[in-house]
Chain A
Amino acid sequence: MTFQIMINLLMALIWMFMNDAWTFASFISGYAIGVAVLFFLRGFFPQRFYFGWIYSVVKLILIFLKELVLSAAEVVGQILQPKLKIKPGIFAMDIHLQRNWEVTVLSCLITLTPGTLVVDVSPDNKTLYIHAMHLPDTEAAKQDIRESFEKAIQEVSRT
């Protein structure tokens, strides 16, 4: 990833040298040409083309914002009910992420999403213990998290 970005910057620099035009516009056009060249040479790199990575990061951020708004709406709805109908509980969820930062990002996302809060992470990073505010159906909650977040994070960390 970093290697590809460095090569792209270097191409933009070479483009500026070749044109003898030291302006920002010339840097941008050189960078765009570098992106095109890297796209055609993507088979030679061991990692994937880095714009795919940028796309998945942007997608993760958008999912995050959407879930934040939904979660605030749900919490407000529960609070404003005349009688509390919530059934809280703690459930365990197995995750399939290896690296530490992925587990951190996943638990931050879970904490900011509808009615769930990470209480503990098991020492071997395999299980999250999640407190849910309203828990009629554990399997549905797990499925929901897995569909929305875990896949998006795996997509980001795929090389």
Chain B
Amino acid sequence: MNADEISSWIISIIVLTGSVLSLISAFGLIRLPDIYTRSHAATKASTLSVMCILIAAFLFFAVGEGLYSARILLGIVFVFITAPVGGHLISRAAYHTGVTLWDSSIQDQLKEKKRKQRPSSRS
């Protein structure tokens, strides 16, 4: 095997990993019971899968055509920074508009805090 073949194997493995991960996180969106567990699936696995696919695209153009695209690297950094913030904001907005947790959730310490706060804010 020469270098081109080896690099194309590595790139295809990375692309395959990324696409399988994003498929599984789509399954997670269907299977999981409430919005919080769903946003677990949506933020983590899909961040990693988008990163894998972008890295593979970068490597493909770098090895095959000698083209080092800085925009892809910037895209990786931006996805990395914005995905957790998006997940946090969606779940926070859901909590404060009163979306309840799944029935078999075992504890909720934020509710106790909100109950304590409410009388004090009224007085």
Contact = CB atoms under 8 A, between A and B. Distances in A.
A binds B: yes
Task: Classify chain B: how many residues form its interface, as a range.
Answer: 35 or more
A92 B88 contact: no
A51 to B, nearest CB: 23
Nearest to A115: B40
A117 B105 contact: no
A72 B104 contact: no
Contacts of A86: 37
B74 interface: no
A84 B32 contact: yes
A71 B28 contact: no
A111 interface: yes
A138 B109 CA distance: 11
Contacts of A89: 101, 105-108
A120 B36 contact: no
Interface in A25-42: none
Interface in A52-92: 68-69, 71-72, 75-76, 79-80, 84, 86-92
A107 B111 CA distance: 20
Nearest to A131: B36
A133 interface: yes
Contact of B110 (A68, A79, A90): A90
A120 B48 contact: no
Contacts of A68: 44, 47-48
B85 to A, nearest CB: 7
A135 B33 contact: no
8 contacts: A75-B28, A79-B31, A90-B105, A117-B43, A119-B92, A120-B92, A131-B36, A131-B91
Given A68-B48, A79-B45, A80-B27, 11 more contacts: A68-B47, A72-B45, A79-B28, A80-B24, A88-B102, A88-B104, A90-B107, A108-B84, A119-B91, A120-B92, A131-B91
- Report, nearest first, the 6 A-B pairs whose CB atoms are least far apart: A111-B84, A79-B28, A72-B48, A89-B107, A92-B109, A129-B110
